[in-house]
Amino acid sequence: MLYNEFNQPIGSEIKNYNIPLLPNISKLKGNFVKLEKLDEKHITHLFNHFSQKEEWSNWTYLSAEPLTDIKFFEEYIRNYINSSEMFFFAIVNNTTDEALGIMALMNIDVKNSSIEVGHIQYSNDLKCTRMATEAQFLLMEYVFDTLGYRRYEWKCDNLNAPSKKSAKRLGFVYEGTFRQHRIYKNRNRDTSWFSILDKEWPRLKRGYKLWLDLSNFDEKNCFSSSGYVTTSVSICSI
């Protein structure tokens, strides 16, 4: 614990601090999935997934209602593409080259070296797959190792149990709930906050690399019970 001249406890000194970079990349590629900067070429694939009735429940905790008209959906995605405050990615299957979901880097605060992953929208074909896990790993690696942020945030509606469960599985630490934090769709939102810090990233990165190793998956691309399951971090598909 550090103390000032008034014998008051103070935070640790930040030495050799470098201002992090802003997101600016066209593609991040892994073994199973790639993150591409969101583009109009992704609209058709995304619409074919997100507009289906069996996918409507995936819109519950998003700001918009399910969009089943292609013209309105095109406008929805174009707003994300043209956003000056958020940097959107399409999550693309390496094998089929099909866009299966989206997510964004947002609430970018370079002064305080903090950034958030949000607007995560997975199709049912992406949920609970190794592609989903690898997509999150690729973005974390980019945030910490390339852009150089100290803090990586995940926030969600406190009633969104699957999102909270995913955050914890991916290594995010629960920090608390902001009560009556937002109003959306004419309803209250209490917001759960999670984060990963740069000092926690090296351990998490080792765990991700072990879990995502190709030797852990069989010929049907299913996780093999004989493969390595890391105990250093609780990672699973989301």
Q: What is the DSSP string of 212-233?
A: H-GGGB-TTSPBPTTS---SSS
Query: In angstroms, what CA-CA distances link 30 with 174, 180, 222?
Result: 27, 38, 17
What pLDDT digit, counting tens, does each position of 87-112 carry?
999 999 999 999 999 999 999 999 99
Q: 89 forms bridges with which residues in the sheet?
A: 37, 103
User: Which pLDDT score, from 0 to 100, does residue 221 have?
Assistant: 59
Amino acid making up residue 224: S
Distance between CA atoms of residues 16 and 173, nearest Å? 26
pLDDT at 14 over 70: yes
Query: Is pLDDT larger for residue 204 or for residue 214?
Result: 204
In this structure, how many other beta carbons lie within 10 angstroms of the beta carbon of residue 199?
Answer: 8
Quick check: is 234 in a domain?
no
Residues 6 or more apart in contact with residue 18 via CB below 8 angstroms: 148
Percent of the chain with pLDDT over 70: 91
CB 34 within 8 A of CB 135: no
77-109 CB burial, b ≥16 within 10 A, e <16: beebeeeeebbbbbbbbeeeebbbbbbbbbebe
* Two structure tokens written together for 18: 């470098």
pLDDT at 231 over 50: no
pLDDT at 226 over 50: no
User: Which pLDDT score, from 0 to 100, does residue 229 have?
Assistant: 33
CB 180 within 8 A of CB 196: no
Q: How many domains does the chain have?
A: 1
Report DSSP state, residue 125: T
Quick check: is 57 in a domain?
yes
Distance between CA atoms of residues 142 and 20, nearest Å? 11
Quick check: is 46 in a domain?
yes
pLDDT at 75 over 50: yes
- Give the three-class secondary structure for 157: strand
What's CA 203's distance to the chain center, in Å?
18
Q: Which domain holds residue 35?
A: 22-216
Mean pLDDT of 45-56: 98
Quick check: is 169 in a domain?
yes
User: Which pLDDT score, from 0 to 100, does residue 220 have?
Assistant: 54
Query: In angstroms, what CA-CA distances link 174 with 25, 64, 191, 192?
Result: 29, 26, 11, 8
- Give the three-class secondary structure for 207: helix
Mean pLDDT of 131-156: 98
Percent of the chain with pLDDT over 90: 87
Rg of the Cα trace of the chain?
Answer: 19
Quick check: is 86 in a domain?
yes
Quick check: is 201 in a domain?
yes
Q: Indicate the pLDDT class of residue 49, thresholds 50, 70 and 90.
A: very high
pLDDT at 21 over 70: yes
CATH number at residue 168: 3.40.630.30
Element at 184 (helix H, strand E) = strand 173-184
Chain mean pLDDT for the chain: 92
Quick check: is 55 in a domain?
yes
User: Which pLDDT score, from 0 to 100, does residue 187 have?
Assistant: 97
pTM beyond 0.75: the answer is yes
User: Which pLDDT score, from 0 to 100, does residue 222 have?
Assistant: 59
Quick check: is 99 in a domain?
yes
Q: What are phi and psi of 160, to 5 degrees?
A: -85, 80
Any idea which of 13-27, 47-61, 68-82, 213-227 has the lowest mean pLDDT? 213-227
